[in-house]
Amino acid sequence: MNISFSQKPLIALSLLIAPFYFSQNKAEEALKKFEENYPQEKIHLLLSKKNYVAGENLWFTSFVFDGYSPSTISTNVFVELYDQNKKQISKKIYPVINGKGSGSITLPAELKEDVYYIRAYTTWMGNFSDDFNEILPITVYNPSSPEKLEINTSAPWTAAVFPESGTFIDGINTKLVVRLQSKGETPKNWNGFITEAQDSQKKLVTFKGFDQNTGSFNFTPVNGKKYQLTVEDDKGIKQTINLPEVASSGVNLQVQSQADAVKFTLKGKNINENVKYKIIGNINNQLVYKANVSNISDKVYSIPTNQLVNGILNLTVFDESENIVAQRLCFIQPQSLKIKQPSLKGVSLSLKPRDSNSFNINNDSSISNYLVSVTDNESENPENENSLLSTLWLTGDFTSKIYHPAQYFGENRNTDALDALLISEKWLRFNWQTIMSGNFPVIKYKPESYLSYKGRATKLGKPASEAEINLIFKMPDQGFNYNFVKTDKEGMFTLSGLVFEDTMDFSYQLNDEKAGKNSVQVYFQPAFSFLSLKTNLPSHNYILTQRNSTDTIPLEIQRSVTNKSSQNILKEKETVIEEVKIKAQKKDLTKKLNNELSSSLFRSINETVFDFVNENQNAQGYSNILQYLQGRVAGLQIQMQGGNYTATNRGGNMEFFLDEMRVDASQISNIPVSNIAMVKIIKGNFAGSFGGANGAVAIYTRRGGTKGKIIDTTLPSNLTEVKLRGYDKEIPFNNAIYDEESAKSVPEDKRSVLYWNPYLDSKSGESTIVQWYNNDDAKNFRVMIIGFDENNDLLYYNEVLK
């Protein structure tokens, strides 16, 4: 037997490479091409909580993986909400940075009680089957709905049998796995037995199920005999199915995944002794092991695991013609999951209502930020059913329904149950026959660099070929950013790598002094797009039944309804407080702006200031500023006479100033409102009027480059404004709910999520502090901490603090 290993940093194999000879290498070449050109992304959505009430906010953090590491392929995640009929309710786009993103969805208050679905995907994932999208059922309760949700315990279940490696051969003792499925819940307690079809009373083998998914047993079949499996649940419901036909010849692959090595044995019956076999092992579509076996025997072979990552190993046995004769999945080192743990220090907990709690995460310089969540442990943990670990290592790569997959990676995990589950699954990220025949996925969607837009410029109705265009972006909270682009022969250009929320305004001008006003038009369309859902929504474990007036609302839902009401009261209080703050802040900012722009000669105790930098004055709909001012200041009259505007104050003419220089009204009326920073109406005599007694209309244009300052007045006045759509804005989670003492007056606090921060910075050289406020009755707290270090090693903590 000759063995060789491939090497890649993600798997980090560095074992001895030995000579390997085989007549064909189509499988290896096809796998290498697939790995290099068609990486596979998967997503885990971690929700702020498990159950929701209509009208609540749902917060989530999205983890995007390329195999078993944070993905660097995609920089956007698309998140959509669907009802049972596959009708889309909302859609959002959020940025992904180093494989992580976050966002929120506001569940409409009018949603009826039902199961809804959140779909998450990247553009790159659109090149492959939608079955690998993250499609997550969520329960949304609404006590006012005529129907209520209940667990479906009466749905029928089915059983299927899977022999290890897919072969069931005469005289070879084989492990068989029984897999349960249902549109509702499968039984938790069940057992089974094997009989001959001709003698159903004599039990040859009996076994008990591991969990709601699988059970397993060993059996040696005899050629010519037919066998039946009978499965019975704890309600006495039975199902009888036939075992596969017993083959008279073939190869059986038997695998054991141990702590130090994956060990396997090939067993055969009635096979040509001159035929050679090839065994290929791949992890996440990457070749990590291959071997040439010249004769089938009971010899045990080993694949060392000390330099392998946790994950699924796909072992495939090929004959000399590269036909698949046996195949088996197993998990590498299920006994020892390679997960980092944080060190918590200075834990300070209080059971007093609305009191402060805190702990410190000991410094880890290799981790830049954490997701941290603190919930009342009385509420259901969203990670209990399908955790980040089970998505990363299991469900993200399979499309069948797996009940409570998080159990396979928890503290009390059953490694035999996980192994049985993998015997009943197939690796579907690729099909050997398909890629070996040269049929690979068609790439329709290229990886994007955050938000990208395609632009087309025309000049006098024709493509502005190889033209130079100046773009001036008004970046939210960042002032102005200047960009220069050059079009191609068709007048096309691309903007990429944009990161901004909501909308962004920008202006453009052809870099050509001879270009007349409005001679150039620029059109934009996004280079990214939401993709239609082509697969069916998965089944769930609930049914709707008629609601009665005597029905009791589940305690957790009662708490959510109560808390929603309390949060509305708190929101009203916060709104009033915020409005007062904003008004005071705006007043201060306007005063600062006035001081920056106007000289002492243009100050008066009898002045009215319009601030277009810090306040939205709703002036963009007016063709010029003088139209906007009409009727907004007592005593000021603006009229059109002989084609020119005039301004009077109680019958006396007022002067016009542009940046404190006297100008004609025509010069004022031609300035786009978007170029104006401030307008000051001064009544009566002032120093800058040089003796004028009736005051002035003083216009101040934008200059400079940061918010609160002004654009350079040398910018052309004929710039055309355009709006670009950016990322959806995430609703901020209020971790400092009781920093304002007045907030403590809300009647009841039944929050289940007490702290939520997807991006808590890890401070270099010091502990990272987590501080939250209690609700009214929490007795202990569930804390989740997730992060990745500089080597992409996972830190995962999901524990209860008491």
The two beta strands, 655-658 and 696-701, are: parallel
List the domain boundaries for the chain. Answer: 41-148, 451-526, 584-718
Q: Which of 368, 284, 376 is nearest to 332 (CA)?
A: 284
pLDDT band at 4 (very low <50, low <70, confident <90, very high): very low
d(CA 393, CA 330): 11
CATH number of 584-718: 2.170.130.10
Q: For the chain, how long is the longest CA-to-CA vector?
A: 119
Q: What is the mean pLDDT of residues 423-432?
A: 95
Average pLDDT, the chain: 86
| 508-537: average pLDDT | 76
Q: Which of 1-5, 61-65, 75-79, 198-202 has the lowest mean pLDDT?
A: 1-5
What residue spans of 424-479 are helical by DSSP H?
432-436
Q: How far apart are CA 178 and CA 223, in angstroms?
A: 21
Considering only CA atoms, which of 341, 338, 339, 329 is closest in space to residue 394? 329
What is the average per-residue pLDDT within 207-227? 96
pLDDT at 496: 85
User: Given a cut of 90, is residue 515 above it in pLDDT?
Assistant: no
With the CA atoms of 161, 162, 164 and 167 taken in that order, what torsion angle do they form, in degrees rounded to the nearest 10? 100
Reported confidence tier of residue 9, pLDDT bands at 50, 70, 90: very low
pLDDT at residue 476 tops 90: no
What is the percent of the chain with per-residue pLDDT over 90, rounded to a whole number? 54
pLDDT digit string, tens, across residues 87-104 = 999 999 999 999 999 999
What number is the average pLDDT over the span 312-321?
94
pLDDT attached to residue 564: 77
Mean pLDDT on 47-66:
94
Strand partners, 47: 60
**Separation between Cα atoms, residue 766 and residue 768, nearest integer Å:** 7
Looking at residues 128-156, what average pLDDT do you find?
Answer: 92
User: Which among 5, 68, 8 has a CA at the least distance from the CA of 36?
Assistant: 8
* CATH placement of domain 41-148: 2.60.40.1930
For 262-296, the pLDDT digits (tens) are 999 999 999 888 888 999 999 999 999 999 888 88
For position 595, what pLDDT does the model report? 84
Q: How much of the chain exceeds pLDDT 70, in percent?
A: 89
Residues 678 and 597 sit within 8 Å (Cβ to Cβ): yes
Residue 710 has what pLDDT?
Answer: 37
- Give the pLDDT band (50/70/90) at residue 585: low
337-366 tens-digit pLDDT: 999 999 999 999 998 999 999 999 988 888
Contacts of 149 (CB under 8 A, 6+ apart): 113, 114, 115, 139, 141, 542, 543, 544
Q: Give pLDDT, residue 19.
A: 42
Among 11-20, 608-617, 692-701, the minimum mean pLDDT is found in: 11-20
> Residues 6 or more apart from 750 whose CB is under 8 A from it?
559, 560, 562, 563, 566, 775, 776, 777
Question: Please, are residues 385 and 404 in contact by the beta-carbon 8 Å criterion?
Answer: yes
84 vs 495: which has the higher pLDDT: 84
Q: Phi first, then psi: give them for residue 7, nearest 5 degrees.
A: -135, 135
Distances (CA, A) of 192 to 34, 168, 228, 241, 639: 41, 19, 10, 11, 94
* pLDDT of 10: 41
pLDDT computed for residue 744 by the predictor? 79
